[in-house]
């Protein structure tokens, strides 16, 4: 019998955006906008953004099929999102997580605070990889918001 391995980790990432919380929140709630900065090139993305709703990303990473599924537990428009997610590679569950995203008014802009508590299973994903990937997604959100500001 193979011995299973479970690793627990929590990380918090913060970003400042020069737009109001409602604008940053909208980038999480609008399916077309979120697909651009969150899902990645060539991935399938669906988003039912409501309490009890689901988000799903189907893609590939390092030649393996990736499935990321999120269930929305709590949404306070313009203020907070709380969700639970799973990440699987080639059908094998790798990570289960709880994430909160807070949108805090700060001057004319927004301070976003994302905290994730993860359970990483059998070495399929490492906490540092997840934190780095999430930071990259927030960087893509920054680019999306900057492009929207420039175009608007």
Q: What does the pLDDT look like over 130-140, one tens digit per residue? A: 999 999 999 99
Range of the domain at 116: 6-151
Q: Is the Cβ–Cβ distance between 20 and 108 less than 8 Å?
A: yes
Considering the domain boundaries, does residue 1 fall inside one? no
| pLDDT at residue 151, as a whole number | 65
Q: Please report where in the chains the tokens 């930071």 appear, as a residue.
A: 135
> Is residue 37 over pLDDT 50?
yes
Mean pLDDT computed over 17-43: 95
Mean pLDDT computed over 38-67: 94
pTM for the full model?
Answer: 0.92
Considering the domain boundaries, does residue 19 fall inside one? yes
Name the token pair of 13.
């990432």
Name the token pair of 17.
């955006």
| pLDDT at residue 150, as a whole number | 65
Q: Is the Cβ–Cβ distance between 112 and 103 less than 8 Å?
A: yes
Considering the domain boundaries, does residue 101 fall inside one? yes
Q: Write the CATH number for 147.
A: 3.30.530.20
The total domain count for the chain is 1
């Amino acid at each position: 019998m193979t011995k299973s391995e479970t690793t627990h980790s929590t990380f918090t990432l913060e970003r400042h955006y020069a737009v109001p919380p409602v604008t940053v929140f909208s980038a999480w709630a609008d399916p077309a906008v979120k697909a651009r900065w969150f899902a990645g090139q060539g991935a399938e993305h669906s988003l039912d953004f409501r309490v009890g709703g689901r988000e799903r990303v189907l893609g590939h990473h390092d030649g393996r099929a990736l499935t990321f599924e999120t269930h929305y537990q709590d949404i306070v428009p313009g203020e907070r999102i709380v969700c639970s997610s799973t990440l699987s590679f080639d059908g094998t569950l790798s990570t289960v997580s709880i994430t909160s995203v807070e949108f805090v008014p700060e001057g004319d802009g927004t301070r976003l605070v994302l905290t994730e508590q993860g359970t990483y299973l059998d070495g399929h994903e490492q906490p540092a990889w997840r934190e780095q990937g999430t930071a990259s997604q927030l960087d893509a959100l920054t680019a999306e918001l900057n492009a929207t500001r420039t175009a608007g």
